């Protein structure tokens, strides 16, 4: 288990948030699957709840804005020192900023952006809320991985956007080349969220029993035994087994 009690370096994943069409259904599903409880989030973000694991904040669940074609998806947020400055860098590097930067009450400042290839990610300038408070514990975030069509260019994009704050020898996320995938369920470029579990097979079976589905069956990967799942509303996520 790793407790997070300090502000993370710029460019480090610090939060994950699900936007869903069924807030009540999502909280019931993830609460049962990952042993989460929920507390209210910033009021002006609508029906938004922070998930807690044994009292520690680990993730957020909000409601997708009304309108057709709104995906149910998990978003990885990266710590930044200045959300406005980093948003400007994203635009200068060919990405887009779809939401914000905007203030989330006293919790912090956020923006939702996409890289050149369309992979959506968030920026979080933490104030009272610095981000997740525990990682690498069953039910907590474990890893974020970018599925991209051009690893070399994507690496250059994110380095230009976030700068050299994170030491080069410190692994904070991963990349996978979508062109080498034979699984059509991988979909377009995106950030994949992984949650830690003690037993991947058991978690996959529980997800199905709760109304979710298994997109990719449990298998051995570079990070350990993993599976890709979907919640009842179609939100995709991965689970990785702790050693």
pLDDT one-digit tens code per residue, 97-118: 999 899 988 989 999 999 999 9
The pTM of this model reads 0.89
Of 110, 141, 121, the C-alpha closest to 42 is: 110
Mean pLDDT of the region 34-61: 88
Residue 4 pLDDT: 56
Question: Residues of the chain with pLDDT > 90: what percent?
Answer: 65
Residue 168's pLDDT band, with cuts at 50, 70 and 90, is: very low
Tokens of 56: 């520690």
The domains found in the chain, sorted by start residue, are: 2-241 (3.10.180.10)
Between 62 and 180, the more confident residue is 62
Q: Can you tell me the distance from the alpha carbon of 155 to that of 218, in angstroms, rounded to the nearest whole number?
A: 28
């Amino acid at each position: 288990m790793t407790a997070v009690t300090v502000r993370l370096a710029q460019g480090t994943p610090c939060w994950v948030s699900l936007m869903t069409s069924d807030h009540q259904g999502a909280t019931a599903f993830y609460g049962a699957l990952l042993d989460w409880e929920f507390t209210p989030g910033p009021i002006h973000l609508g029906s938004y709840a922070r998930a807690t694991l044994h009292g520690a904040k680990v993730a957020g669940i909000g409601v997708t804005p009304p309108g057709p074609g709104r995906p149910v998806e998990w978003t990885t947020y990266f710590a930044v020192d200045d959300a406005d400055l980093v948003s400007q860098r994203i635009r200068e590097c060919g990405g887009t900023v779809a939401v914000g930067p905007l203030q989330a009450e006293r919790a912090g400042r956020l923006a939702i952006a996409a890289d050149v290839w369309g992979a959506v990610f968030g920026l979080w300038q933490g104030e009272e809320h610095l981000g997740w408070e525990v990682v690498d514990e069953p039910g907590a975030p474990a890893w974020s991985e970018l599925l991209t069509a051009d690893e070399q260019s994507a690496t250059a994009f994110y380095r230009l956007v976030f700068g050299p704050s994170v030491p080069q020898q410190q692994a904070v996320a991963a990349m996978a080349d979508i062109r080498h995938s034979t699984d059509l369920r991988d979909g377009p470029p995106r950030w994949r969220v992984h949650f830690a579990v003690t037993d991947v097979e058991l978690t996959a079976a529980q997800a199905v029993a709760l109304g979710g589905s298994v997109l990719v069956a449990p298998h051995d990967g570079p990070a350990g035994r993993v599976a890709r799942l979907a919640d009842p509303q179609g939100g995709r996520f991965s689970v990785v087994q702790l050693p």
